[in-house]
Amino acid sequence: MYILGVNAYHGDSSACILKDGEILAAVEEERFRRIKHWAGFPSESIKYCLKEAGINLSDVAYLAVNQDSSANLVKKVMYTLKSKPSFALIADRIKNKKERSDIPSHLKILFPDDAFTGKVQFIEHHLCHLASAYYVSPFVESVVVSVDGFGDFASAAWGLGKNSSVSVDEKVYFPHSLGIFYQALTQYLGFPNYGDEYKVMGLAPYGSPKYLNEMRQIVQLQSDGGFRLNLKYFRHHKEKVSYEWVDCSPKIGRLFSSELESLLGPTRNPADELTQFHKDVAHSIQKMYEEAFFHLLNTLYKKYEVDAISVAGGCGMNSVANGKIKLATPFKQVYIQSAAGDAGGAIGAALEAWALHGNKSNDKLSAHHDHAYWGPHYSDETIRMLLEERKADLDAEQCTVQYLANSNELYDRTASCICDGKVIGWFQGRMEWGPRALGNRSIVCDPRRSDMKDILNLKIKRRESFRPFAPSILREHVGEWFEQDSDVPFMMQVFQIREQMRSQIPAVTHADGSGRLQTVYEHTNSRYYGLISSFYEKTGVPMVLNTSFNENEPVVCQPVEALNCFLRTKMDVIVMGNWMVSRVAD
């Protein structure tokens, strides 16, 4: 049985394909469209998934969508009758519902000669998040938690995953949302773009919790572990906040009211300087989120008395909070999948559809996802043809091109370049699923150099100075360098670097002594493991600096995008498969 899962008409639109409950492929639409967080119908992702599976659309039994407009219907009606939101707000919700229900029509346009004869299965948004967290986790039983902005009139849900099912025991409903709190305050700090919350996380270590009392006026914790917003500080529950979700990078209008400025002061203009005030507010935002998140988790541990927890939802991308779960709660095992946000809902929808229609046992539905390499891949021959085609461009940049058939030689040569302070584009195997570059579409550098962050920003990234770069570390060395010794394959947790080690790796040590690590395993990525091992042999440092292979764009997907990025920036070396292209040193 083939099941196609999609996240459509929302940020990070995506698709995945399952065969008898096992994933074959998964990808976000932004990688094909080259527009960050692309929202709309994931047509290119669907095409890729079918191609990778070697099937036609007519072979798909179920198309599972991570949204169900009939979910929480009573809550919606009661809220509408009680709160009387604006007509524009109601009309906007009806329009969104119509777009999502019209998926079969899009399939007819996309595949005019290949009719979809299966069934469309709409699955409630947060159930998809919970399913995406639990079914691919290593646990037979775990608490499951989803926290985000909104989906199907809820902003959070929790329950228990056990064997072949996930329960949804409680929810937090519209208009209360930790995701909206974080997003609104992100806008207040002058970061208006969809997905800018990570900038607040990066800025927070430079401040102090000076405004935590003000944050506690905005977010109010509840005895059941949930939370409520003081709605006088927000607009989303009464007025129509402008949203753009169709065929574009998502855009969201101002979520906070003028009362927030009365509480904290004037909103920062994006062009204004970041002052200590803004850094302190960022720290206080993060602290308030953690306070609410850990209040929920501690309540759930008391309720379920299960040592493992699986986390998803947009707020599941808060790697700073995730890294503190074992320190701030009794949970002993933590799993956050590589696409914890809405993109991951495609996998959750597909797996829940398999639970409903395909699974015939009480066993765990899916194998543990200990890697995220589910995207497109390209042969050395394809890369060779591209390099031949672009020979004039490479000659103009005075590049040398070599084919290194011996993998160990490739690792050794690349590691030597890293030791020399060069910036390396590393393009290998199948593209990563989720927002993080995890060693297949990465830029790698020397973590030992205190100037490497400035070099990277000068040559390629051109991003804010307060944003950190991350370390990829051989799994067996984590305990030597970090205060927690855990598996973090998807760069979804931030740990404190051991104090005595920080001076050795300044390029990946943040202002508060932390690092957002990725643990690397030989059995899941032998080439990346081989590269880091070679660097370790030369330096005694078992890690490299890893950042996404891009320049103010989505992470590169195809070889041509990687080569274009190399040519238009000052990157020193690009390694694609077994091909190494180097700029001749001045």
pLDDT at 328: 98
Please, where in the chain does CATH 3.90.870.20 lie? 380-583
User: For the chain, which ranges sit under pLDDT 50?
Assistant: none
Distance CA 439, CA 533 (A): 13
CA angle centred on 510, ends 506 and 514, rounded to 5°: 105
Rg (CA), the chain: 23
CATH class of 380-583: alpha beta
pLDDT at 285: 98
- Residue 433: phi and psi, rounded to 5, are -100, 125
pLDDT at 584: 84
Distance CA 271, CA 285 (A): 21
Distance CA 128, CA 116 (A): 23
* Per-residue pLDDT tens digits for 254-293: 999 999 999 999 999 999 999 999 999 999 999 999 999 9
pLDDT at 74: 85
CATH class of 2-126+343-357: alpha beta
pLDDT at 58: 97
Please, where in the chain does CATH 3.30.420.40 lie? 2-126+343-357, 147-337
* Per-residue pLDDT tens digits for 325-369: 999 999 999 999 999 999 999 999 999 999 999 887 778 777 899
Q: How many CB atoms lie within 10 A of CB 526?
A: 15
Check residue 482 and report its DSSP letter.
B
The CATH number fitting domain 147-337, selected from 3.30.420.40, 1.10.10.10, 3.30.2270.10, 3.60.150.10: 3.30.420.40
Distance CA 393, CA 511 (A): 40
Q: Which of 65, 57, 63 is nearest to 10 (CA)?
A: 65
Alpha helices in 366-496 (DSSP H): 380-389, 391-396, 407-419, 452-456, 478-481
Cis peptide before 330 (omega within 30 of 0): no
Q: Which of 518, 385, 534 is nearest to 441 (CA)?
A: 518
Copy the structure tokens of residue 472: 């990829």
Check residue 117 and report its DSSP letter.
-
Q: How many CB atoms lie within 10 A of CB 578?
A: 18
